[in-house]
Amino acid sequence: MFDWIWIGLGVGGILGLTGSGGAIIALPLLHHVAGFSLKIATTAVLPVVSISAIIALFGKYKSVQWKEVFLIVLISLPTSFLFSFLKFFIRDTYVFILIMGVLLLAFIQTWFPLKKKASFSKKQELKFILVGIISGFLTGLTGLGGGVILVPLLEFFDKDEAGVSQSLRVVSTSLAVIAVTSTGSLLMQYNRLSSSVISFRQFLLLLLGIVVSTLLVRLIQTYFSQPVMSKVQRILYSVILFITFFSMIF
């Protein structure tokens, strides 16, 4: 019972400090602590991704580009469904390599973010296709939301809007895409999840842990300046990626 609370507390703490990364720490915890196989862990992590993205959206929903979210999930949902089915016909080694690649990209993006932008109007269709396919592919195959890849892609295709911070707009839109896609993928795989992975009681314990630690960490953050917290977030996120990377190997 307490394994699920600890997993929730760990995920919520990271979510509160960094605003992302819930699935990145939850995946190895479910694999090693809860004892799931790698492929089952990629399914069990979906509730974590959904809850984390929804909680992170609080206070940011007004900055979400909902039209973009709708168009992107038209691609991401069927893509997620396809790869969640194909996942069980693919060798664990390939899933493992893909997860390692996402972790490596997450580390690079943390310290060397992509800043180049392109014209939104000329490549709007390409944006929806690329972001939708990547979101659905990662969610269906690895269970990870893929925000570390979606955010730079959305920034690359983003258009300027007066009065709205680009960073806030892009992060909020990315969270909305992840929330919808991961929740949709979770519902598609509900039978498999409920019968062999996680019970409703365990889900509630996970939710409790995430909510409590997220709110607690955000309360503590109010006592520190933004520059200090930004530095702490980058360092902590990098440490988490480092630990996760080697825990998945060993």
Determine which of 112-121, 150-159, 162-171 has the lowest per-residue pLDDT on average: 112-121
Entry field: residues in the chain: 250
Number of domains, the chain: 1
- Per-residue H/E/C for 159-194: CCCCCCCHHHHHHHHHHHHHHHHHHHHHHHCHHHHH
Residue 197: strand, helix, or coil: coil
175-200 confidence digits (pLDDT tens): 889 889 988 888 887 666 555 566 77
With beta carbons less than 8 A apart as the criterion, state whether 44 and 198 touch. yes
Domain with 139 in it: 2-249
Question: What does the pLDDT look like over 3-12, one tens digit per residue?
Answer: 778 888 877 7
Q: How far apart are CA 105 and CA 143, in angstroms?
A: 16
The answer to whether residues 97 and 135 touch, using CB atoms and an 8 Å cutoff, is no
Q: Give me the pLDDT at residue 8, please.
A: 82
